Amino acid sequence: MNWIRALMLAVLLAVVVQTASPLPARVDDTPPAVAAKPAPAVVDDKGFDSLGGDRIRAHIVKLTSDEFEGRGAGTEGGMLARDYMERAFRSLGLKEAGTEGFRQPFRTKGRGRSKATDLDLCNVVGILEGSDDELKKQYVVIGAHYDHLGRRNGTIYPGADDNASGSGTLIEVARAFTLGERPKRSLLFIAFDGEEIGLLGSRHFVKSPTVKDEALVAMLNMDMVSRGPDGDLWLSGVSESSAMKAAVEAAAPLAELKLHFEHEREWRQSSDHGPFADAGIPFLYFGVPDHEDYHKPGDTADKVNETLLLRASRVVYLTARAIGNAASAPEFGE
Ligand SMILES: [Zn+2]
């Protein structure tokens, strides 16, 4: 083989190989196309942006520490939790809306285990005034119970999910509203006592509200909002008010949450929204189904899901804001 034939053969071979092999995927330097992905939803609001799962978890860690002894209603630990909520409301600059400053103390007979005993319990109530001169006379209630089971047979029940999670979220949602654009209606933040022994704090508040009862236009309740997957939250109340349902359904994608309605009826009386529902006040309850640590000593702060906490706080914030700004108050019983 002479060199010319060899060269020609080499060239031919190169062409054949080149033709037979697939073309190089890309010869220019334009960046590769990325599969279309929806941009994360943006809410242009300082308050919304300030919400953080880590901040809520810090409250949970504190409220579940041993000094609070499980926050039993009417116990020393319960009173420490009351003080914690009161200090938080005060430091945020909320307006005192109890009967004694932020406090709404009441004496009651406990149910269940504490049946025969008179108990001194106390809700903690604060207002963030609305921005509209007329609509600020109406209130959107945002609530969570701060009590838990206390100590039983020497064992502390810390109640991280139930309901340090709702209590911490309540504080952080209130804080966010002090930073963001203020809704037209006023917001009434209530930390309830005595939920675990018969919804006693919420029953007392509905019976003896510290603002005019006709001024209560809606109630959002958080109880157990920190366990389970990042993006799932369960609701009750959507079937009884189309306006409330529309508000929370518009908020859910912005909070990156999938809403579940299968406990809608079953959970109507499951927590502090119950007395409000019975009084004909449109309500939404936010929570997760009972889990392996429900009402067990294992309901501890290390098991809470910060992402879920963040998303729960976001959905409550946006829903309260929408109801707070709506042209008319939500209807009930649709
Ligand atoms: Zn609870």
Distance 246 CA to ligand 1 centre (A): 26
Q: Rounded distance, CA 167 to CA 148, Å?
A: 11
Q: What's the gap in Å between 312 CA and the centre of ligand 1?
A: 15
Write out the residues surrounding ion ligand 1, Cβ under 5 A: 162-163, 223
How many whole angstroms separate alpha carbon 289 and alpha carbon 308? 14
Residue ranges covered by each domain of the chain: 50-325
Retrieve residue 58's tokens. 């810090």
Which CATH architecture fits 50-325?
3-Layer(aba) Sandwich (3.40)
Ligand 1 centroid – CA 147 distance (Å): 8
What is the CA(60)–ligand 1 centre distance, in A? 14
User: What does the DSSP assignment read for 63-76?
Assistant: HTSGGGGGGBTTSH
Q: Count CB neighbours of 66 within 10 A.
A: 10
Does the pTM of the predicted model rise above 0.85? yes
Query: 109: helix, coil or strand?
Result: strand
Q: Report the alpha-carbon distance of residue 50 to residue 173 in Å, rounded.
A: 9
Helix, strand, coil % over all residues of the chain, rounded to 5: 40, 20, 40
Q: How far is CA 259 from the centre of its chain?
A: 13
| Cα 296 to ligand 1 centroid, rounded to whole Å | 12
pLDDT tens series, the chain, 334 aa: 455 555 554 544 454 444 444 444 445 565 555 555 555 557 889 999 999 999 999 999 999 999 999 999 999 999 999 999 999 999 999 999 999 999 999 998 765 555 567 899 999 999 999 999 999 999 999 999 999 999 999 999 999 999 999 999 999 999 999 998 999 999 999 999 999 999 999 999 999 999 998 999 999 999 999 999 999 999 999 999 999 999 999 999 999 999 999 999 999 999 999 999 999 999 999 999 999 999 999 999 999 999 999 999 999 999 999 999 999 999 998 6
CA distances in angstroms from 37 to 41, 49, 232, 258, 314, listed in the order given: 12, 22, 21, 18, 22
Buried b / exposed e along 146-176 (16+ C-beta atoms within 10 A): bbbbbbeeeebbbbbbbbbbbbbbbbbbbbb
